[in-house]
């Protein structure tokens, strides 16, 4: 699959990047983490129904547990990717230290979304299926398979309205482009992270005591 994508974008669509495989791996890592952690969080409370009926536990720990599990996998995959990068280039990206800031942002952003959808799924059981469709569409509207800068400026503007774009850039720019993501990208990502966490925490706080009656 990776080889097919590389051929399609470098030969057919003429993506001018000698390191397209590196870009693809670098962009897929944060996207996969976002996708898997949020979708796993959606069913976290429902799947814990027997435990919740036997004893009281804060409901928020269940989606956070799923995000934490995905974070471990994501971190290990990131180290594996950096090893591959080193073997491919015989050096590490000079701006790699930006990942120290980027990692907490995408983790907290995903946790906020995970908490949000975990509550929604208790009340609207079809949320888990809608999420799958949503993420499939969201994937193609996010510069995961293609670098943002290959698109015309007008299209770039619309993709920058996509929240996931900024989180992908937090990883692709320091690793693939070897540049800082920039204050604008960090400011947008930080704002989205705060909004996601506040929305998730608010919904959980408001409905936590009622959740047990809807399971």
Q: How far apart are CA 35 and CA 45, in angstroms?
A: 18
Residue 56 within a domain: yes
Q: What is the pLDDT of residue 59?
A: 94
For a pLDDT cut of 70, what percent of the chain falls above it? 92
- Give the up-direction half-sphere exposure of residue 17: CA atoms within 13 A in the CB hemisphere: 22
pLDDT per residue as tens digits for the range 29-71: 999 999 999 999 999 999 998 888 888 889 999 999 999 999 9
pLDDT in tens, 89-135: 888 888 999 999 999 999 999 999 999 999 999 999 888 889 999 99
* Residue, of 77 and 55, whose pLDDT is higher: 77
pLDDT in the model for residue 213:
84
Its domain, for residue 167, covers 19-211
Mean pLDDT over residues 5-14, rounded? 55
pLDDT of residue 9: 58
Closest CA to 58 of 132, 119, 146: 119
Residue 94 lies inside a defined structural domain of this protein? yes
Angle at CA of residue 32, ends 154 and 169, nearest 5° = 40
Closest CA to 176 of 108, 104, 106, 99: 99
Domain contains 109: yes
- Record the tokens describing residue 168, joined without a space: 């992908």
Angstrom distances, CA of residue 128 to CA of 2, 124, 214 = 27, 9, 16
Whether 190 is in a domain gets the answer yes
Averaged pLDDT of the chain: 89
Q: How far apart are CA 94 and CA 1, in angstroms?
A: 29
CB 105 within 8 A of CB 193: yes
Residue 40: how many other CB atoms lie within 10 Å: 18
Instruction: Please indicate, yes or no, if residue 13 is contained in any of the structural domains.
Output: no
Fill in the DSSP letter of residue 208: H
Domain tally, the chain? 1
> Which of 19, 34, 27 has the alpha carbon at shortest distance from 73?
34
In a domain, 3, yes or no: no
Q: pLDDT at residue 215 above 80?
A: no
Is residue 173 assigned to a domain?
yes
Torsion of CA 148, 149, 151, 156, to 10 degrees: 60
pTM: 0.91
Residue 8 lies in a domain: no
Distance CA 83, CA 167 (A): 22
What does the pLDDT read at residue 126? 87
């Amino acid at each position: 699959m990776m080889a097919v994508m590389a051929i399609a974008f470098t030969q057919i669509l003429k993506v001018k990047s000698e390191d397209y495989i590196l870009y693809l791996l670098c962009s897929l890592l944060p996207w996969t983490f976002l996708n898997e952690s949020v979708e796993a969080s959606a069913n976290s409370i429902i799947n814990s129904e027997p435990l919740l009926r036997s004893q009281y536990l804060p409901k928020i720990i269940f989606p956070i547990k799923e995000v934490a599990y995905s974070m471990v996998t994501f971190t290990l995959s990131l180290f594996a990717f950096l090893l591959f990068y080193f073997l491919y280039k015989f050096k590490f990206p000079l701006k790699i230290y930006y990942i120290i800031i980027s990692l907490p942002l995408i983790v907290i952003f995903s946790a906020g979304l995970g908490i949000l959808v975990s509550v929604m799924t208790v009340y609207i059981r079809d949320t888990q299926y809608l999420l799958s469709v949503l993420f499939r569409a969201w994937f193609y509207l996010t510069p995961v398979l293609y670098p943002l800068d290959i698109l015309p400026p007008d299209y770039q503007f619309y993709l920058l309205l996509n929240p996931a774009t900024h989180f992908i850039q937090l990883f692709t720019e320091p690793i693939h482009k070897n540049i800082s993501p920039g204050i604008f990208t960090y400011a947008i990502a930080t704002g989205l992270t705060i909004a996601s966490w506040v929305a998730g925490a608010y919904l959980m706080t408001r409905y936590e005591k009622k959740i047990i009656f809807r399971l």
